[in-house]
A and B are shown apart, each in its own frame.
Chain A
Amino acid sequence: MLQRTWPAEGLTRVPYWVYQDADIYQREQERIFRGATWSYLCLEAELPEPQSFLTTFVGDMPVVVARDASGAIHAFENRCAHRGALIAMQARGKTDRFACIYHNWTYDHAGNLLNVAFRKGIAGKGGMPAEARPESQAPKKLRVESVHGLVFGTLSSEVSSLKSYIGPEILPRIKRVMIKPVKVLGAYTQVLPNNWKLYMDNVKDTYHASLLHLFFTRFRINRLTQEGGVFVSKDGAHHCTFTRMIEDQGDAYEKEGMRSAGSSSSQFRLEAPELLEQEDELGDAVSIQILSLFPGFVLHQIRNSLAARQVLPKGIDRTELNWTLFGFADDDEAMTRRRLMQANLVGPAGYISMEDGAATGFVQRGVAGSPERASVIEMGGSGVGSGDSRITETAVRGLWQAWRRHMDL
């Protein structure tokens, strides 16, 4: 079915048809989202008590995530065994069982079919034959595992445990942030006019941050001259990059005339710079850490802003980015206030994040006439691996290495 072949150069070229083809989108759903990967579902803190639930997606597939009466977390396809209707239609809630509204078939918190309405008919009339097996079309159940309060699910029975899927390069960097029980501060969705992979390779692109985001550079939050580095998992699938707070006094950006450094004619400075003040709560002087797990999860620490981002494909050229910002359950008032102030850096109106929405959409539009052409991904050479420079596209190449393996392309 697929007529596409990858460019001979290998990982230093990413052909534009990967963002455009309907066949590719369908194969991704099957091999990646319903395949041997772990997808982020929610924070454990979003299911605060027994019998609470929320609804989300794994790729295109609607999913219910629920705690049973004993507190265990389950996830199952949000599709009734009978006619395929949604079993749960609310975003979140609490219930002692799920009842499909269409014909009142009911399910427990693990997605087991409990009852078929009037299965035996009424007064000896109607109903299903005794040999009927509606359970044969039961909603698919996901394997569910949590790591440091983050809940993931997979339909695959082959994929390894979540911790071994994430691997030893990246796992400690999750633990670094998720040091205590968390408290959800709120959520919203940014709808991006581009293929989901354009957002993922933006996240993994350590080279762009200080060139696109003037806020990073002008205020010396993240320059490529500051100490930092990138970790890439062995298979290339996951990454983590960090920058230390140590103030960079250099003028490499100014000398090279980078837009993001600002110009002497533009006198832009903050009248209220307290917005950026960071308390070193994790104790390692890291000002930013951006971490991604294949296929669609991002964990960020930007100063004292902490968030989980869930990346959901919604068609070839549409992506929903679900942001859930959080703090720790024991935050004092001053820390909560700091986190809410720094919410101005991220999300659809974020001084930094708004620009990622713009840039990735520009690529989707820019490549419309050139499916056969390719991105040039040669910063830092052609390899995939960890290092102490962020003037590299190693993590982007890692994404494509993992993607090609899953897609067999």
Chain B
Amino acid sequence: MDLQQAVERLHARYAHALDEGRLEDWPEFFTQNGRYRITTAENEDRGLPLPVLYAEGRPMLRDRIQSLRHANIYEPQRYRHIVSSALVEQLDGSHARSVANFLVIRIMESGDTLLFASGRYVDRIVLSEEPQYEERVVICDSRRFDTLLAIPL
């Protein structure tokens, strides 16, 4: 499998896991110390570090999912991710950088369907038989979030 295919396959598996509600699989897409950060284009442009959500390492990623499962109160909802083809660049023998656009549609139990988020995934990926994210930065185009952001983007 070539690099482009391997990276896009990782993005696709990630999106399908979230959309199918397999949240427990989510931390496994990251390396042991992998970082996940959601931010906004505005904060990025202003050079401001504030994340909407930040996790560093699989324990913190798992905490987020455990909290969604056992602690937090939010209405039942699903996502549908649409991820564009990626611009992929090999950094060295074992790392690649990828930028891909995304749309996330949120579907509530009532059927209410909303274009919840759009933006870019800016990733640093460790290449191996099953590539993983060393860092995934989710840069949302808008500074606005409707009601709450529970499931990761």
0/1 interface trace, chain B 19-59, chain A, CB 8 Å (1 if under): 00000000000000000001110110010111111110101
Chain B residue contacts of A275, Cβ below 8 A: 60, 63
Which residue from chain A places its CB closest to the CB of B44 in the assembled complex?
A186
The complex places the Cα of A262 from the Cα of B67 at a distance, in Å, of 11
Q: How far is the CB of A325 from chain B (nearest CB, A)?
A: 5
Inter-subunit contact B62/A271 (CB<8 Å):
yes
Beta-carbon contact of A343 and B51 below 8 Å: yes
B49, B62, B71: the one within 8 Å of A215 (CB)? B71
Which of B42, B50, B62, B72 meets A340, CB within 8 Å?
A: B50
Question: A186-B50, A271-B60, A344-B53 in contact; A357/B148 too (CB < 8 A)?
Answer: yes
Please determine whether A348 and B147 come into contact, CB atoms closer than 8 angstroms. Answer: yes
Q: Nearest Cβ in chain B — how far from A223, in angstroms?
A: 15
Query: If the complex has contacts A185-B49, A186-B46, are A354 and B149 also in contact, measured as CB distance less than 8 A?
Result: yes
Asked if B1 CB lies within 8 Å of chain A CBs, one says no
Q: Which residue on B lies nearest to A192, using beta carbons?
A: B147
Chain A interface mostly helix, strand, loop or mixed? mixed
A188 & B143 in contact (Cβ 8 Å cutoff) = yes
User: Do A212 and B145 touch (CB < 8 A)?
Assistant: no
B49 touches A351 (CB 8 A): no
Q: Are B59 and A272 in contact (CB under 8 A)?
A: yes
Q: Are B63 and A361 in contact (CB under 8 A)?
A: no
Query: Total contacts A to B, CB within 8 angstroms?
Result: 121
Beyond A344-B53, A348-B149, is A185–B71 a contact (Cβ under 8 Å)? no
C-alpha spacing A98/B137, complex, angstroms: 36
**Residues of chain B with a CB closer than 8 A to A184's CB:** 48
Chain A residues with Cβ below 8 Å from B143 are: 187-189
Kindly state the interface size class of chain A when it binds its partner: 35 or more
Say how far A198's CB is from chain B's closest CB, in angstroms.
Answer: 13
- Assess the B73–A212 pair: CB atoms within 8 A: yes
Collect the chain B residues with CB atoms within 8 Å of residue A91's CB: 42
A349 to B51, CA, bound (A): 10
A188→B59 CA distance, assembly (Å)? 26
Q: A236 to chain B: which residues have CB within 8 Å?
A: none
Known: A186-B48, A188-B145. A354 touches B59 (CB 8 A): no
Closest to A353 in B: B148
Known: A270-B63, A354-B150. A218 touches B71 (CB 8 A): yes
- Measured in the bound complex, the distance between the Cα atoms of B36 and A125 in whole Å is 64
Q: Mark A residues whose CB is within 8 Å of B.
A: 91, 184-193, 212, 214-215, 218, 262, 266, 268, 270-272, 275, 320, 325, 336, 340-341, 343-344, 347-349, 351, 354-355, 357-359, 361
